[in-house]
Amino acid sequence: MKISFILNGKKIEIDAPPDRRVVDLLREDLNLTGTKEGCGEGECGACTILVNGESRLSCLMLAPQLEGQKVTTIEGLASAEKLHPIQQAFVEFGAVQCGFCSPGMVLASTNLLQKNPNPSRAEIREGISGNFCRCTGYQKIVDAVEAAARKMKI
Amino acid sequence: MKGEKRKVILKEKKVEIPLAKEELEVVGKQVIRKDGYEKVTGRLKFGADFDKAGFLHGKVLRSPHAHALIKKVDVEKAKALPGVVAILTAEDVPGRNGFGAIIPDQPVICGEKVRFIGDGVALVAAESEEAAIEALKLIDVEYEPLSAVFSPVEAMKPGAPKVHENGNLLTTVRIRKGDTEKGFQEAEVIVEQTYSLPFVEHAYMEPDVAMAIPHEDGTITVKGPMQAPFTVRRNIAPVLHIPISKVQCVQTHLGGGFGGKEDSSIDIGVRAALLAWKTKRPVRMEYEREEVTLSTAKRHPMIIQCKVGAKRDGTLTALEGTIYNEQGAYASLGPIIPPAGGTHAHAVIMLPGPYVIPHVKVDGYLVYTNHPYGGAMRGFGAPQVNFVHESIIDELAEALQMNPYDLRMKNCFELGSVTATGQVLDQSIALKETMRSAADQFEWFKRWRPPPSKEEVEKVEKRRGVGMAIGWYRTSIGTFSDGCGANVYVHEDGSVILHTGITEMGQGSHTVLAQIAAEELGVRIEDVRIVVPDTDIVPEAGPTVGSRSTTLMGNAIIMASQAVKASILEAASEILGVPAERLVARNRLIFDRDDQTRGVEFKEAARRALATGKRMMGQGWWAPPRPSFDVETGQGYPYFVYTYNTQMAEVEVDTKTGHVEVIKVVACFDIGRAINPILVEGQIEGGIMMGLGYAMMEEVLLKEGKVQNLNFQDYMIPTAMDAPEIVPMILEDPNRYGPFGAKGIGEMPNIPTAPAIINAVANAVGVRIRDLPAHSEKVFHAMRGRRG
Ligand code: FES
Ligand code: FES
């Protein structure tokens, strides 16, 4: 079936079977491999994307659910060569190690700061608690999100 | 400058320690990791992100039995399925039907029998993933179930089902030092306990994947997230029955490894290679999360009996320990086959802890069972035994009515101490300083109180407690494969390529190693490019394990850099008319030490070096001083240097539910030299969280050999909600053999966390958990048991 939606600011139309998982649609049909798959069961958050600004797990969504929606993947967050302040902070604060969780973690943080531009550390921890990171111990991620929040307010 | 003191970076404190080397430009600086940009933008390609076009899909048919004979495998129906290209069974393996990091005892495809639920019985290659999955269902296997054995203690009994032909006892390692009988006679207080540790999953976020591409000329390329590409290559060649020179292994960036991808990349790599070899087509294999949990290596479970004796004043007199170490179905990285040492020997060596004990006796048994197998996981046998010695030291302190800090301080290693293996610690040992610094930061003496009485616990809903643990950890494998090489190429524009086989798994080695090259050459970090480890190109590096990368590879890189730098300095000397010995290279400039106004750009010297035919590549090869270890007596110098660590934890226990919240962890490390402090902190914080998971929630649950919690829904790892405040502290007591004084950091942080937390729980509510993990229910029942 034909599905049309806005992907990273561009309107697209694509043919996909109704049971196509969004994570596969993105990674395989659209070659947007920045979205990762860590578990395929909605537990790890590696496949997080933004749908109308809300973070959603693309491994639990089917293609038709995107019809008419605004979708942002990690590829759509930075403009050309300039990083989003959250991405910049992740790099600077050592919030990235293996990087497998990073795309999902960055998008979840984006969603968090949109809803709450001024979060406490506890609120940040809660906001990213759906995203696993096995490498960092989360502390530097919280540092990065905190710093990005400060920067984005200026 | 000699004698000068270097300020050591601590989050909040400053300590001064003699400087290892004169002022440095790149090393010791908060250099931002080189791959950060690609990672936060999602541009970095992990193994699963490469184009699948043209690849067949490979799958493994897995045994549903823990122990069974294979009577018949009927593949005809599966073969007839459209889209299926090949179904392979044991007879199709052209060479050795076995792989393994130390002993090749795991069949690529089982022929006669299966030894655990998840063993590979057939391999499928098909045009589509759907066809491959369908084909698995059509393969008919007839099994004859055998009785199985699921505990190391049971497996050692006479008459137990034999997992392998030669019996279930795979390796015995002992330590014999002094006379423990005498030691216990001298003791005034003796504590004896049994502890047990569970199977734990690495839970790296990126599931395993491998791509195998056969070539016309009889060579084969295998790509994937390999923690140890040379070990994968070493296994593929004999399975395909071709020389090692015809196998090329290329690493893709790892989405976490933690020791797990040392084994799993052999497993999936060998199987993908075999399918590609037989079908003569590129084959791609991917293990889903459940398959990773089901079939790949885990942290060894252990049952450990331990007994310590001390004088009234706390002086330790003797320690005895028996380790029942469950290997599971295959040897993986468990055994010690001299000169290769596995997890087991390391656990035995580490059991007495960082303490001076005159009489020590340890017997460690590594035993096959019909469970999934234990392999390398961050800490390599040390977290298990550290939990034991740090628990029992606290139990002893309680029996002696001493502050556990004082008991440790009285007995722990310092310069000149002799270990249980007879090793004299003659350098780079600031364990006591890590204790002092951590205690100051944590305010240990203000906050520690003796454990409460039953009544005191019952009075309140929440009780806080503090606990500590100390530890030591090797740098290096301590065996034959420790030698490692590096090539450094300088180009005519001053840019540099570094060839190293150390893999990037997230730990930041490719930033740290580039820093070392940049420092030694006198260029900037951005001038150094590390190519992806490719066994056709980079020199043998051994595996990326044992917290060895920075130290061992760092030394090889320094040697390689010096070799090529000689040409550049020679060229600069020709340009400047100043003897090469007087030249200093720093920050892309080469100048006269005695007259710093006279200089030339590094790239200009490089250009001249090339134009005048000088060597533009340097190679370095470094191996630590030869290790020694006697398996019978446990005597020797198994590792050339150790990292030391103190951790202090504060917890809050809900006395109504048993729920434990870790509030804060202060952790201080002597790592010789932090080449990149922010990356070191990253290792510390990540390791502590993994240790917290070990303490509180992680356990692979098994029932009749079957893993019960295959996905993250059931296998819990810590989330941001579980994260305590972590204060990482770094001390630098330079390692004589290290690059700029460095020693390893990757594994140490993961080790003393669990006992520090469990000791804090005991300190809060007066109950002691001796079998991990200490989830709420267990703590609750322990408290209720105490109430009687
Ligand atoms: S892959 Fe979607 S939550 Fe893990
Ligand atoms: S950086 Fe590796 S999982 Fe988060």
Beta-carbon contacts of B353 under 8 Å, excluding residues fewer than 6 positions away, are: B385, B386, B389, B390, B393, B470, B471, B472
Classified as helix, coil or strand, B183 is helix
Choose the residue to mutate in A97, A140, A141, A142 for probing ligand 2, maximizing ligand atoms within 8 Å of C-beta. Answer: A97
Mean pLDDT over residues B79-103, rounded?
Answer: 97
Mean pLDDT over residues B594-604, rounded?
Answer: 93
| Residue B464 C-alpha, separation from nearest chain A C-alpha, in angstroms | 20
Residues of B in contact with A19 (CB under 8 A): none
Nearest-angstrom CA–CA distance, B186 and B170: 35
Q: Whose CA is nearest to atom 3 of ligand 1?
A: A42
HSE at residue B495, side-chain half, CA atoms within 13 A, is: 5
Residues of A in contact with B43 (CB under 8 A): 34, 75
Domains of chain B, start order = 47-146+202-295 (3.90.1170.50), 302-478+628-787 (3.30.365.10), 484-622 (3.30.365.10)
Nearest-angstrom CA–CA distance, A70 and A60: 17
Which of A87, A101, A137 minimises the CB distance to B41? A87
User: Would you call A98 an interface residue with chain B, using a CB distance cutoff of 8 Å?
Assistant: yes
State the pLDDT at residue B480. 56
Joined tokens for residue B515:
């820093």
Q: Where in chain A is the domain with CATH 3.10.20.30?
A: 2-76
pLDDT exceeds 80 at position B168:
yes
A101 alpha carbon to ligand 2 midpoint, in Å? 5
Nearest-angstrom CA–CA distance, B209 and B285: 6
Element (H, E) at B114: strand B113-114
Nearest chain B Cα to A92, which residue?
B32
State the pLDDT at residue B481. 62
- The CA-atom distances, in angstroms, between B348 and each of B167, B184, B423 are 21, 20, 15
| Per-residue model confidence as pLDDT tens digits over A8-28 | 999 999 999 999 999 999 999
Nearest chain A Cα to B34, which residue?
A91
| Per-residue model confidence as pLDDT tens digits over B441-484 | 999 999 999 999 888 888 899 999 999 999 999 998 885 568 89
User: Would you call A129 an interface residue with chain B, using a CB distance cutoff of 8 Å?
Assistant: yes
pLDDT exceeds 80 at position B21:
no
Candidate CATH numbers 3.30.750.24, 3.40.50.300, 3.40.640.10, 1.10.150.120; the one for domain A85-153: 1.10.150.120
Cβ of B39 within 8 Å of Cβ of A102? The answer is yes
pLDDT exceeds 70 at position B408:
yes
Phi, psi of B586 (to 5 degrees): -155, 130
Residues of B in contact with A27 (CB under 8 A): 49
- Residue B664's identity, in one-letter code, is K
Element (H, E) at B762: helix B753-765
Q: Whose CA is nearest to atom 4 of ligand 2?
A: A133
Mean pLDDT of chain B, nearest integer: 94
Residue pointed to by tokens 């056969």: B214
Mean pLDDT over residues B37-47, rounded?
Answer: 96
Mean pLDDT over residues B250-254, rounded?
Answer: 97
User: Would you call A60 an interface residue with chain B, using a CB distance cutoff of 8 Å?
Assistant: no
Specify burial of residue B359 (Cβ count, 10 A radius: 0-12, 13-18, 19+). buried
Cβ of B686 within 8 Å of Cβ of A41? The answer is no
- Which residues have CB under 6 Å of ligand 1? A 37-40, 42-47, 57, 59
Nearest-angstrom CA–CA distance, A35 and B42: 7
Order of strands across the sheet that contains B113-114: B113-114, B68-74, B140-145
Residue B341: name the closest of B641, B627, B662, B90 by CA.
B627
Residues of B in contact with A75 (CB under 8 A): 41-43
Question: From the alpha carbon of A99, which atom of ligand 2 is closest?
Answer: 1
| Residue A2 C-alpha, separation from nearest chain B C-alpha, in angstroms | 23
pLDDT exceeds 90 at position B787:
no
| Per-residue model confidence as pLDDT tens digits over B484-501 | 999 999 999 999 999 999
Beta-carbon contacts of B505 under 8 Å, excluding residues fewer than 6 positions away, are: A98, B225, B227, B253, B254, B256, B257, B258, B261, B544
Which of B289, B679, B688 minimises the CB distance to A94? B679
| Per-residue model confidence as pLDDT tens digits over B333-375 | 998 876 567 899 999 999 999 999 999 999 999 999 999 999 9
Kindly state if the Cβ of A136 falls inside 6 Å of ligand 2: yes
Range with the poorest average pLDDT among B615-629, B648-662, B673-687, B764-778: B615-629
How many helices and strands (H and E) does chain A possess? 5, 5
Chain centroid to CA B436: how far?
27
Q: Which CATH superfamily is domain A2-76 in?
A: Beta-grasp domain (3.10.20.30)
Give the 3-state secondary structure of B728-741.
EEEECCCCCCCHHH
Nearest-angstrom CA–CA distance, B268 and B275: 11
Instruction: Looking at the CA of B683, name the nearest ligand.
Output: 2
| Residue B228 C-alpha, separation from nearest chain A C-alpha, in angstroms | 16
What pTM was computed for the model? 0.96
Contact (CB, 8 A) for B486 and B620: yes
Nearest chain A Cα to B203, which residue?
A134
A57 alpha carbon to ligand 1 midpoint, in Å? 6
Joined tokens for residue B618:
């340097």
- The CA-atom distances, in angstroms, between B481 and each of B139, B185, B262, B485, B584 are 41, 43, 14, 11, 35
Range with the poorest average pLDDT among B11-15, B318-322, B538-542, B663-667: B11-15
In a mutational test of the A interface, the residue from B35, B41, B254, B684 whose CB has the highest number of chain A CBs within 10 Å is: B41
A56 alpha carbon to ligand 1 midpoint, in Å? 10
State the pLDDT at residue B339. 57
Nearest chain B Cα to A127, which residue?
B720
Contact (CB, 8 A) for B48 and A28: no
Which of A27, A35, A98 minimises the CB distance to B205? A98
Nearest-angstrom CA–CA distance, A8 and B231: 42
pLDDT band for B254, please (50, 70, 90 cuts): very high
Instruction: Looking at the CA of A37, name the nearest ligand.
Output: 1
Cβ of B37 within 8 Å of Cβ of A139? The answer is no
Classified as helix, coil or strand, A97 is coil
| Per-residue model confidence as pLDDT tens digits over B568-578 | 999 999 999 99
State the pLDDT at residue B14. 39
Residue B629: name the closest of B425, B471, B479 by CA.
B479
- Residue B443's identity, in one-letter code, is E
A23 alpha carbon to ligand 1 midpoint, in Å? 9
A104 alpha carbon to ligand 1 midpoint, in Å? 9
Residues of A in contact with B205 (CB under 8 A): 36, 38, 44, 46, 98, 100-101, 132-135
Mean pLDDT of chain A, nearest integer: 96
Nearest-angstrom CA–CA distance, B91 and B509: 41
User: Would you call A132 an interface residue with chain B, using a CB distance cutoff of 8 Å?
Assistant: yes
Joined tokens for residue A39:
């578990």
Residue B650: name the closest of B396, B373, B444 by CA.
B444
Residues of B in contact with A76 (CB under 8 A): none
**Quick one: DSSP state of residue B148?**
-
Choose the residue to mutate in A26, A44, A49, A129 for probing ligand 1, maximizing ligand atoms within 8 Å of C-beta. Answer: A44
Q: Where in chain A is the domain with CATH 1.10.150.120?
A: 85-153
Which of A73, A99, A134 minimises the CB distance to B204? A134
Classified as helix, coil or strand, B504 is coil
| Per-residue model confidence as pLDDT tens digits over B746-783 | 999 999 999 999 999 999 999 999 999 999 999 999 99
State the pLDDT at residue B7. 40
Between chain A and chain B, how many beta carbons pairs sit less than 8 Å apart? Answer: 173
pLDDT exceeds 50 at position B1:
no
In a mutational test of the B interface, the residue from A60, A90, A97 whose CB has the highest number of chain B CBs within 10 Å is: A97
Question: From the alpha carbon of A105, which atom of ligand 2 is closest?
Answer: 4
Mean pLDDT over residues A106-114, rounded?
Answer: 97
Kindly state if the Cβ of A101 falls inside 6 Å of ligand 2: yes
Nearest-angstrom CA–CA distance, B187 and B385: 22
- Prediction ipTM score: 0.97
Which of A28, A99, A137 minimises the CB distance to B44? A99
Cβ of B711 within 8 Å of Cβ of A39? The answer is yes
Return the number of other C-beta atoms located less than 10 Å from residue B630's C-beta: 16
| Per-residue model confidence as pLDDT tens digits over B536-567 | 999 999 899 889 999 999 999 999 999 999 99
Joined tokens for residue B674:
């932090």
Q: Are strands B702-703 and B583-586 parallel, antiparallel or unpaired?
A: unpaired
Residues of B in contact with A137 (CB under 8 A): 682, 684-690, 723, 726
